[in-house]
């Protein structure tokens, strides 16, 4: 029985192998990775700003530490007296602009070391969280992979 050449694609009856296409790298995946990195950078900048505000609030002269609204505003970019509650403002201004009313303060060496240790601790925690979530994503991807059924011979 003769086979049609159009079915096999070559004269002589042998099928023409079709090359396997490389799996495309989804643009959505790359954009989600870039968005996640941008959020992580934004979070780290916010954390650094809050740490700087914390140091400024803790090293402020004793007369200013008795004002909880001022400390709250410095630490978390809030103004509870303006909104009547603990509303976090969504201004794009960094916390440094809120510290302009405070006198210039030079933190001592111990405070600088403490800040460096806190920053390192935050970075280590972030790294651990990233490792755990990466493992979870890998495990989930492994579990969701399609598998061929296991055939047992009797």
Domain presence at residue 56? yes
C-alpha Rg value of the chain to the nearest Å: 30
- Give the up-direction half-sphere exposure of residue 132: CA atoms within 13 A in the CB hemisphere: 6
- Does any domain span residue 28? no
pTM of the shown model = 0.29
Any domain includes 73 = yes
pLDDT tens digit sequence for 45-96: 888 888 887 777 777 665 555 556 666 666 666 554 544 444 444 444 444 4
pLDDT score at 29: 78
Provide the domain limits for residue 74: 45-102
- Which residues, in sequence order, are CB contacts of 116 under 8 Å at separation 6+? none
């Amino acid at each position: 029985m003769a086979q049609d050449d159009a079915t096999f694609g070559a004269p002589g009856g042998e099928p023409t192998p079709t090359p396997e296409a490389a799996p495309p790298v989804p643009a959505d995946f790359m954009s989600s990775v870039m968005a996640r990195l941008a959020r992580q950078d934004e979070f780290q900048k916010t954390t650094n700003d809050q740490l700087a505000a914390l140091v400024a609030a803790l090293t402020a002269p004793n007369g200013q530490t008795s004002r909880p609204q001022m400390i709250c505003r410095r630490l978390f970019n809030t103004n509870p007296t303006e909104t009547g509650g603990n509303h976090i403002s969504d201004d794009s201004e960094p916390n440094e602009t809120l510290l302009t009313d405070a006198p210039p303060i030079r933190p001592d060496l111990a405070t600088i070391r403490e800040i460096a240790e806190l920053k390192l601790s935050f970075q280590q925690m972030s790294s651990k969280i990233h490792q755990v979530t990466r493992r979870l994503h890998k495990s989930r991807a492994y579990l969701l992979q399609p598998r061929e059924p296991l055939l047992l011979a009797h």
